Amino acid sequence: MKVGFVQLRRQGVFYGCIVIAIIAMLAFYIYNLDAWRMNEDEGEYLYQFWRMTEGEVPYRDFLTPQLPVFLYTGMLWMKLVGHNLFLLRMLSVILAFSTAGLIFRLGSRISNNTSLALTGSFIYLLHPETYRQSRFLRNEALFLFFGVLGLYLVTESIPRQRRWMLALAGVSLALATLCKFFGMLYVGGVMLYLIWRWVSKERSWRETLCDSFAIGLPYILTFGVIFAGFYLVIPIFPQAVLGHHLMQGQTLSQWEVIRKGLKLLAEYASMYPILVSIALATAVGDSLKSRRWTFLVCQIPTVLAFLVLSRNFGPRHLLYLVPALALLSALGIHTINRLGRWGWLAGVVLLVALLAPWIRTDLMRARQAEKDTMYISQIIQDNSAPDDVVLGDFADLNFFAQRRSTYLGAAVSIGAASSGQITGAELIQEIVDDQVKMIVIDVQSFARHLSHMPDFATFYRYVRANFDLLGEFRREDQVLQIYHAAHPLTSTADPLHVAHAQVANLGGQVTLLGYDVDHTIIHPGETLKLVLYWQAQTRMGTDWSVFTHLLGPDGKVWGQIDQLPLKGLFPTSKWGQGEVVDDEYLIAIAPDAPPGEYRLEVGMYNWITGERLTVFDASGQRITEDRVLLEPIITVQ
């Protein structure tokens, strides 16, 4: 009796500690949850949820590459909790902890070890990418919930021979795929496991075929019915959701795609070396011995899909694999723990080494805060009416300012812009059709979207010619130019005007069409404005820098600016074939520049190697020193 009491007391302490740990983890997740408002993907989703609550239909009334299960879940949640960002993001937190609970059940089902399953759940929750994505209202949280639910249902069904649970797993995995296409990778891992059971003679080929149909048919039916339903109602639906993915990276060769995929996997392994090492070592060890964890091991080969997918991916796209890696790592650590006293110590040290850097990263992210978003949203509100249309780089500003965007403006992203799904010409047409009142363009940060359009220079030129610049405003690492239309726009014509024609061919890649200067007489210490007009002859793989030199009578450089075109906003690798770029340079004249007649020389070069693009004149003759001497004489007095 006494022994039983002691055992119950120990269990009570154990479960009490678990409850405290879960509460602490929850507090860690919701701390400062709404302090950081900048997330371009979440901002796009928030805007789209808002428009759906206003009665608009995705794909028909605004472009979005997002899939319907995620969109309608987000819309219903916004209808329930309103526009409060903290409450909106709580959906992701709830889903993250629900997924962790499923990981616990999954680990318990495979190992019959509560401690191991708990370790896997906490590894999942503390993973930096899990923590980051679960603090924003993004599709990852819902996708992972349905995906892991599907995996758990498979593990529940197989030992009990309950194919109806396999059918439920197929439905759950279809819902995951209708949140994010990576749900197909979960299905691939499950099918690989069913094949392994047949090869290892655990199941006959007939039983394997029946199991495959039990999960595959509901998956195909659920996905197919929803997909076909949207297609029948909104024919543009497949193009909207697939075009975003299929149009990216189409110019890459197969070898370039493979190399890109290998780089992604190597980058992920370098970011999480301990997690990947333990998980892979455990996977190999289990495959050679007990083979109890083969179900999770079969999820790992699905990463090979990234070797054949052409679109750009980052480490966050491997988040789907974290549940399996977390449980396999927990198994590896617990295996070490069983190797006696020193094994227990080694396991603890390994767990600390795994989690300590993650916790530090998560803490840094939890402390992030900014107020610029609401300040800029207020500027937009102050300069527009509630029914005005605002087009910009970031749809989150539309959401916080409660201003509608255009059809294409609802889905502006790097992928959509660089792939040609969204073009400057189409946006210009929308500016006129929707009578856009304000435009917001990021001219500095890495996250800027519009500048990735191959005809961005034309779009940017149109905006500067037809809108008034309210000013440049900083939002953390972003510098946002905000433009305002004083009068309704009626013309979509390109305002391009080459003031002075002077043609030169640079390496068969770029043509210099001409130039413009604001002064031909200037004084030392003043600034000369030079505009160069370039035209891309082909799509370029190199970001060429431009050099502009003001040469004195003695041949010495008395004024100079070297930079990427449009001050780095539109590098040559992004230029579309035939695109004309008006490229402005403000050249400061040296204060001690002697009086006399000066010439401007310009050209392009590789800023890494210093190699210049070869220059030919209009007649095809090679120009020495690979430079273009512009025609005007600049007199310094």
pLDDT in tens, 278-305: 999 999 988 877 788 999 999 999 999 9
pLDDT tens-digit profile of 128-176?
999 999 999 999 999 999 999 999 999 998 877 788 999 999 999 999 9
Confidence (pLDDT) at 250: 72
User: Does the structure show a pLDDT above 60 at 10?
Assistant: no
Distance CA 179, CA 95 (A): 13
CA 420 to chain centre: 16
Is residue 8 very low, low, confident or very high in pLDDT (cuts 50, 70, 90)?
Answer: very low
**DSSP reduced 3-state for 61:** coil
Pairing of strands 634-636, 596-606: antiparallel
Q: Of 90-94, 308-312, 505-509, where does mean pLDDT reach its minimum?
A: 308-312
Q: 101-120 in b/e burial notation, b at 16+ Cβ within 10 A?
A: ebbbbbbbbbbeeeebbbbb
Q: Which parts of 234-321 fold into alpha helices (H)?
A: 237-246, 254-271, 273-288, 294-297
* Average pLDDT score over residue span 387-393: 96
Give start-end residues of each CATH 2.60.40.2550 domain in the chain: 500-636
Confidence (pLDDT) at 11: 53
Give the chain's mean pLDDT: 92
Confidence (pLDDT) at 9: 53
| Higher-scoring residue by pLDDT: 633, 447 | 633
Q: Report percent pLDDT > 90 for the chain.
A: 79
* Average pLDDT score over residue span 186-196: 95
**DSSP reduced 3-state for 211:** helix
Is residue 261 very low, low, confident or very high in pLDDT (cuts 50, 70, 90)?
Answer: very high
Q: Which residues contact 545 (CB under 8 A, 6 or more apart)?
A: 562, 563, 564, 604, 605, 606, 607
Of 172, 133, 125, nearest to 152 by C-alpha is: 172
| Higher-scoring residue by pLDDT: 406, 248 | 406
Topology of 500-636 in CATH? Immunoglobulin-like (2.60.40)
Q: What is the DSSP letter of 409?
A: G
pLDDT tens-digit profile of 311-362?
888 899 999 999 999 999 999 999 888 887 788 888 889 999 999 999 999 9
Residues 531/499, Cβ–Cβ less than 8 Å: yes
Confidence (pLDDT) at 15: 61
Tokens 């310094």 map to which residue? 636
Provide, for the chain, the percentages of residues in helix, strand and coil under a 3-state DSSP scheme, each rounded to the nearest 5: 55, 15, 30
In DSSP terms, 534 is beta-bridged to: 512, 581
User: Does the structure show a pLDDT above 60 at 197?
Assistant: yes
Sheet of 438-442, strands arranged across: 390-392, 438-442, 478-484, 468-475
| Higher-scoring residue by pLDDT: 39, 344 | 39
Q: Containing H/E element for 548? A: strand 544-551
* The Cα angle at residue 232 between residues 226 and 233, in degrees rounded to 5: 90
Tokens 């195909």 map to which residue? 220
Is residue 446 very low, low, confident or very high in pLDDT (cuts 50, 70, 90)?
Answer: confident
Q: Which residues contact 550 (CB under 8 A, 6 or more apart)?
A: 528, 557, 558, 559, 560, 587, 589, 598, 599, 600, 634
User: Does the structure show a pLDDT above 80 at 475?
Assistant: yes
Confidence (pLDDT) at 1: 47
627: phi then psi, degrees, rounded to nearest 5 = -140, 160
User: Does the structure show a pLDDT above 70 at 121?
Assistant: yes
Confidence (pLDDT) at 342: 80
Confidence (pLDDT) at 161: 77
Q: What is the DSSP letter of 252?
A: S
pLDDT tens-digit profile of 417-444?
988 889 999 999 999 999 999 999 999 8
User: Does the structure show a pLDDT above 80 at 90?
Assistant: yes
Q: What is the reported pTM? A: 0.90
Q: Report percent pLDDT > 70 for the chain.
A: 97
Please report the DSSP string for 574-620 in residue order. GPPTT-EEEEEEEEEPPTTPPSEEEEEEEEEEETTT-PBPPEEETTS
Residues 579/457, Cβ–Cβ less than 8 Å: yes
Confidence (pLDDT) at 13: 56
Is residue 263 very low, low, confident or very high in pLDDT (cuts 50, 70, 90)?
Answer: very high
16: phi then psi, degrees, rounded to nearest 5 = -65, -40
Of 170, 160, 103, nearest to 130 by C-alpha is: 103
Sort 604 into a burial class: Cβ within 10 Å, 0-12 / 13-18 / 19+: buried
Residues 354/123, Cβ–Cβ less than 8 Å: yes
Confidence (pLDDT) at 14: 56
Kindly provide the residue ranges of all beta strands, DSSP E only, lying in 418-499, ordered along the sequence: 438-442, 468-475, 478-484
User: Does the structure show a pLDDT above 50 at 216?
Assistant: yes
